[in-house]
Chains A and B, each alone.
Chain A
């Protein structure tokens, strides 16, 4: 019984985590991120916008 409860709890936590990841991914998907600086520079030249460069 105790084992089942623990397993159920872990499953719920995993589901919540997946949902949260999905929400973040969807929020991020609304913004277009380039993965090459030269592509970002070309887009900035086209649109006249500044560039926000993230290094991680």
Chain B
């Protein structure tokens, strides 16, 4: 760390997030850059398993070491600066400007994801089949990384195996862009479109460099997004909170295996669902007669993905073993 100038920002109001672009659904994130703000690498990021699944001392040391290597290249004029993205600040999002900024409160990183969704929805540009699935999980391509070794592949399966990946390969480029860390890899992976038929990787295998072309499987970008502010901000408001049943619980209740049945756990605000008779403890197993969704195992996310504000939704519920149905109108927001 002594080889670096250390900067810690606890507020991001003045930060150009167009340039310092990162997955906002994290608790902490790092960049390594030079005095001209040329970003060498990113560090941090997470997958669905936990917030710190890819943050550990060995991978941080590796990132710091690579940062110094990049700096040397830059000093030797061997590292050209890429084109800088258009500037963007949190104040540019109306939802943030009129909310936390106006009130003098801290802008939480996840609020950026929420504001991005709000902006796209307002402009009628939010595609529910595409836009909710941000920062995909590389494991969906069949690649499990060694979390302590940055971009070194630990296990391969599925599409990665078919493409010729092997354990021990070190991913050095994705779609032509250099990747030095897990966060770099995740950042570039996020730029690969849903519809991509091929994703080109370069790997280091021993001393040799190899190019591998991977064909992603259907829904490769789909991950658990319920925790994301961007997904939570999606309209309509689902009216209730629920905990998914385990397969054993579904079996015991005589419900469809693989379905999105869930137990209602709470109502944070007064909702139309409550007014229609939904209660904590009810098991919601069907939405308009549908019991499963290949994109999600969450009944509330299924509602968000398939309905819009003002729609009436019909829920199939189990209450103390009795089947019931109830209908209510969906609001855009909770209040």
A interface residues, how many (CB within 8 angstroms): 23
Q: Which of B4, B20, B28, B30 contacts A50 (CB 8 A)?
A: B4
Q: Are B30 and A52 interface neighbours, CB within 8 A?
A: yes
A32 to B2, CA, bound (A): 9
Shortest CB-to-CB span from A43 to chain B, Å, is 5
With CB as the reference atom, state the residue of chain B lying closest to A45.
B35
Q: Could you list 8 further interchain pairs (A-B, Cβ under 8 angstroms) beyond the known A44-B34, A51-B33, A53-B32?
A: A31-B1, A35-B7, A44-B35, A50-B4, A50-B71, A51-B4, A54-B7, A54-B9
- Tell me, in angstroms, the Cα distance from A40 to B91 when the chains sit together: 23
Across the interface, do A40 and B3 meet the contact criterion of CB distance under 8 Å?
no
Interface size on B, residues (CB 8 A): 33
Q: Which of B14, B22, B64, B75 contacts A52 (CB 8 A)?
A: B64
Q: Which residues of A contact B75 (CB under 8 A)?
A: 48
Tell me if B68 and A41 are in contact (CB < 8 A): no
B269 proximal to A (CB < 8 A): no
Which of A31, A40, A44, A50 has most B Cβ within 10 Å? Answer: A50
Residue ranges of A at the interface with B (Cβ–Cβ < 8 Å): 31-37, 39-41, 43-45, 47-56
Q: What B residues does A47 contact at CB under 8 A?
A: 5
Which residues in B have their C-beta under 8 angstroms from that of A31?
A: 1-2, 6
